[in-house]
């Protein structure tokens, strides 16, 4: 299949934009030039002056299948990802069964091969059945295309378990990816411990619940030499610890979500569980520290933590609803509107945090709009203004705090390995 993208623009450093055309052949980017004349092209696509970027990469999503298909499936989740401009996603292991053995992983890989419309790189769990006790057999599993090891959704509660996991991960050259939460100081909290939890009279989650585990783990990572990656950083203390660890030469990396960059606890007006996520929306000071950490490189990139739930589940209020919101279909538009258009970050920085930075951290051969790389390409209309409508989501999950928000910038076409997997109806 030979495709020519005509009349496009690409982004250069300092947010300079230049005209370009892209020739795709045999699933690869064959050529990028200001103008291309090619013979025997199967399809010519007029990009109408819109921006071409590498396909986005999200290393933190929940596809729910197997076991939670009423919330999301591999097919609906990857369709949603493609709509959001993503061509590579990494699926968390909180499924049933858990991918903690070669049999379970083979079953998951078969489902991905059959149902995914983009690239899905699955995690394996650190501990068997995500129970936080006996370790998964890392050496047995590493022979399969596993992205990394994590017990996301649950913090590893003992230093001994984390130390042994890091030793095993280091031996097989895979990262440990950590959801950091100390259950001993969780206090059954459902949102950030602060002025809003006081106002709504709901149990709060202290910031230290996250940061104390990060502090423990970076020292264990220093001890073992393991690559340690922190999921969805949410507090200023966590940013400080990660910054200090990087300055000490420890191999630690970190991600932040769009919702933690764009919202804080004051965004919660009433008992609406569409604002319930883990970690919770923190204080304004935390939000500003996250932005600063992203800008200075303490935090490496952005990941959505796309966590779909059924509407009836999220209708139960903060005390009884599950944690999590969806994010794949709205991430770029929200970040472009809330950060780039507001002059907080540049468009070049945003695209890097969605593409080349996660690829670099995890040594993935994707995330570049360059000749010879996989033809994973996102076409973006930066001038498109629209209102987010959860009822139009391709994801089964409608649980978003951003419903009816007016935004700018829309991914209008997604190409994965040279094949169009999403196209916005014009």
What is the domain partition of the chain in residue ranges?
2-51+374-423, 55-361
Residue 132 pLDDT > 80: yes
The per-residue pLDDT for range 302-357, each reduced to its tens digit, is 999 999 999 999 999 999 999 999 999 999 999 999 999 999 999 999 999 999 99
Per-residue pLDDT at 426: 60
Residue 177 pLDDT > 70: yes
The stretch 399-426 carries a mean pLDDT of 95
Cβ-based neighbour number of residue 75 at 10 Å:
18
Contact assessment for residue 325 and residue 277, using Cβ atoms and an 8 Å cutoff: yes
Buried b (16+ CB within 10 A) or exposed e, 251-286: bbbbbbbbbbbbbbbeebeebebbbbbbbbbbbeeb
Residue 110 pLDDT > 80: yes
Q: What is the phi/psi pair of residue 347, to 5°?
A: -65, -40
Per-residue pLDDT at 1: 85
Gap between the Cα atoms of 18 and 421, Å rounded: 25
Q: Which CATH number fits domain 55-361: 2.60.40.1730, 3.20.20.140, 1.10.10.10, 3.10.20.90?
A: 3.20.20.140
The stretch 38-47 carries a mean pLDDT of 92
Residue 187 pLDDT > 90: yes
Gap between the Cα atoms of 323 and 420, Å rounded: 33
Closest CA to 76 of 386, 417, 308: 308
Closest CA to 169 of 220, 227, 222: 227
- Give the number of residues written for the chain: 426
The per-residue pLDDT for range 47-106, each reduced to its tens digit, is 999 999 999 999 999 999 999 999 999 999 999 999 999 999 999 999 999 999 999 999
Burial classification of residue 362, based on how many CB atoms lie within 10 Å of its CB (0-12 exposed, 13-18 middle, 19 or more buried): buried
The per-residue pLDDT for range 226-280, each reduced to its tens digit, is 999 999 999 999 999 999 999 999 999 999 999 999 999 999 999 999 999 999 9
The per-residue pLDDT for range 322-337, each reduced to its tens digit, is 999 999 999 999 999 9
Rounded to a whole number, what is the distance in angstroms from the first to the last CA of the chain?
Answer: 24
Alpha helices in 19-101 (DSSP H): 74-83
- Among all residues, which ones are annotated catalytic? 305
Tell the CATH topology of 2-51+374-423: Urease, subunit C; domain 1 (2.30.40)
Gap between the Cα atoms of 6 and 71, Å rounded: 39
The per-residue pLDDT for range 134-149, each reduced to its tens digit, is 999 999 999 899 999 9
Percent of the chain with pLDDT over 70: 100
Gap between the Cα atoms of 223 and 162, Å rounded: 12
Per-residue pLDDT at 180: 97
């Amino acid at each position: 299949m030979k495709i020519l993208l005509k009349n496009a623009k690409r982004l250069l450093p300092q947010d300079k934009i230049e005209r370009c055309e892209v020739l795709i052949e045999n699933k690869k980017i064959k050529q990028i030039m200001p103008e291309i004349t090619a013979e025997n092209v199967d399809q010519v696509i007029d990009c109408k002056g819109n921006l071409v970027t590498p396909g986005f990469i999200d290393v933190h999503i929940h596809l729910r299948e197997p076991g939670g298909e009423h919330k999301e499936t591999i097919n609906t989740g990857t369709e949603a990802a493609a709509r959001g401009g993503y061509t590579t996603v990494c699926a968390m292991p909180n499924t049933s069964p858990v991918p903690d053995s070669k049999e379970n992983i083979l079953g998951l890989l078969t489902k991905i091969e059959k149902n995914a419309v983009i690239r899905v790189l699955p995690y394996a769990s650190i501990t068997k059945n995500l129970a936080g006790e006996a370790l998964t057999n890392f050496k047995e599993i590493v022979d399969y295309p596993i992205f990394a090891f994590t017990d996301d959704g649950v913090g590893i509660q003992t230093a001994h378990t984390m130390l042994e996991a890091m030793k095993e991960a280091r031996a097989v050259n895979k990262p440990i990816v950590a959801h950091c939460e100390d259950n001993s100081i969780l206090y059954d909290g459902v949102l950030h411990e602060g002025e809003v939890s006081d106002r709504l009279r709901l149990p709060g989650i202290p910031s230290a619940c996250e940061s104390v585990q990060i502090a423990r783990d970076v020292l264990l990572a220093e001890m073992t030499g393991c690559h340690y990656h922190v999921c969805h950083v949410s507090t200023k203390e966590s940013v400080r610890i990660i910054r200090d660890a990087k300055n000490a030469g420890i191999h630690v990396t970190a991600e932040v979500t769009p919702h933690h960059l764009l919202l804080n606890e004051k965004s919660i007006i009433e008992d609406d569980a569409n604002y319930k996520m883990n970690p919770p929306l923190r204080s304004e000071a935390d939000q500003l520290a996250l932005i600063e950490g992203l800008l200075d490189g303490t935090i490496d990139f952005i990941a959505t933590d796309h966590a779909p739930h059924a509407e009836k589940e999220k209708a139960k209020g903060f005390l009884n609803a599950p944690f999590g919101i969806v994010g794949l279909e709205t991430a770029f538009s929200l970040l472009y509107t809330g950060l780039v258009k507001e002059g907080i970050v540049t468009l070049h920085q945003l695209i890097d945090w969605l593409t080349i930075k996660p690829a670099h951290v995890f040594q993935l051969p994707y995330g570049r709009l360059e000749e010879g790389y996989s033809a994973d390409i996102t076409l973006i209309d930066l001038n498109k203004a629209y209102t987010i409508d959860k009822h139009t989501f391709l994801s089964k999950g409608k649980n978003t705090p951003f419903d009816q928000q007016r935004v700018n910038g829309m991914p209008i076409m997604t190409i994965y390995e040279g094949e169009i997997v999403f196209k916005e109806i014009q």
